Amino acid sequence: MTALVIAEHDNTSIKGATLNTVTAAAACGGDVHVLVAGHHAGAAAAAAAQIAGVAKVLHADGEGFAHGLAENITAQILTLAASYSHILLPATASGKNIGPRVAARLDVAQISEITKVESADTFERPIYAGNAIATVQSADAVKVITVRTTGFDAAAATGGSATVETVAAVAASAKTTYLGSEIAKSDRPELTAAKIIVSGGRALGSSEKFNEVMTPLADKLGAAIGASRAAVDAGYAANDLQVGQTGKIVAPQLYIAAGISGAIQHLAGMKDSKVIVAINKDPEAPIFSVADYGLEADLFTAVPELVKAL
């Protein structure tokens, strides 16, 4: 029994979500191999070999993998799938894009966003925005799984000494062409990997106010910035900052929600945070029901005061 983890990487380094996925793969009970499919991705493959608990790294290098297109990565995984009992991907935008495509081609179910491995064939996963936890058992020969990273600790990024084996890269599909990306450049920690997140809601009132109030707090704490769906819908914050059921699922050490009422869809994305602080002037706001520390106050005075006090 061997599990294959599909690494998420930028061709030079391994993304953090891969480390949590390795932990989930190890919990399935067998050896853990990692596939690094990339373009000029030798450095990423070398980094994957350092991850504690990884026995072997498979490195496929080809132009078609440069931007992680689902069609090409899937084709590569399918050439290797026969040797594995489990194929795991992080439940990131990339992993979610590829996993079901692999599962369907293998004619097996995918088990999405697992938060716990009970045994080699039984897993826990949240449904209905985390309002229920289902325990599901798969009878399929290969288990294709996406891993909710907040459910598993990160494996140590160093300390391992896996062998790196080069595998032949498949040809790229002609049906899909990568045209470009607009990735926001930021010195802040990534939302899903941040230790502290400060998140703003509709009460901020405008994108100028959102930046004016939330940015100093984030700077002071070295935090990532998040937002509620209402704030994103209103255009106060970028789409990829949305925390919630259909946005980012986060579980930082400290989550500060300012002017967020706490719809169930938002709570679904952050209620596993270690410490939750809610700042809201509405005493009835549902966010207070999950907050460790609630401050009933106007965020426009409380947040700057907090910045000053820190």
Partner 1 sequence: MKILVPVKRVVDYNVKVRVKSDNTGVDIANVKMSMNPFDEIAVEEAVRLKEKGVATEIIAVSCGVTQCQETLRTAMAIGADRAILVETPADLELQPLAVAKLIKALIDKEQPGLVILGKQAIDDDANQTGQMLAALADLPQATFASKVELAGDKAKVTREVDGGLETLEVSLPAIITTDLRLNEPRYVTLPNIMKAKKKPLETVKPEDLGVDVSPRLKTLKVCEPPKRGAGIKVPDVATLVDKLKNEAKVI
Answer whether 19's CB lies under 8 Å from 47's CB: no
Of the pair 25, 196, the CB lying nearest partner 1 is at 196
Of the pair 31, 219, the CB lying nearest partner 1 is at 219
Q: Please give the distance of CA 215 from its chain centroid, rounded to a whole number.
A: 23
Q: Which of 60, 55, 32 is nearest to 44 (CA)?
A: 60
Q: How far apart are CA 241 and CA 42, in angstroms?
A: 31
Q: How far apart are CA 282 and CA 186, in angstroms?
A: 32
Which residue shows structure tokens 């399935």? Answer: 28
Q: How far apart are CA 48 and CA 162, in angstroms?
A: 8
* Smallest separation, CB 286 to partner 1 (Å): 10
* Smallest separation, CB 164 to partner 1 (Å): 26
* Smallest separation, CB 234 to partner 1 (Å): 12
User: Who's near 187: CB < 8 A, 6+ residues apart?
Assistant: none
* Smallest separation, CB 96 to partner 1 (Å): 5
Which residue shows structure tokens 């160093």? Answer: 158
Of the pair 61, 113, the CB lying nearest partner 1 is at 113
Q: What is the DSSP letter of 14?
A: B
Q: How far apart are CA 125 and CA 138, in angstroms?
A: 13
Answer whether 47's CB lies under 8 Å from 2's CB: no
Of the pair 23, 242, the CB lying nearest partner 1 is at 242
Of the pair 28, 221, the CB lying nearest partner 1 is at 221
Structure tokens at 101: 């495509």
* Smallest separation, CB 165 to partner 1 (Å): 26
* Smallest separation, CB 59 to partner 1 (Å): 23
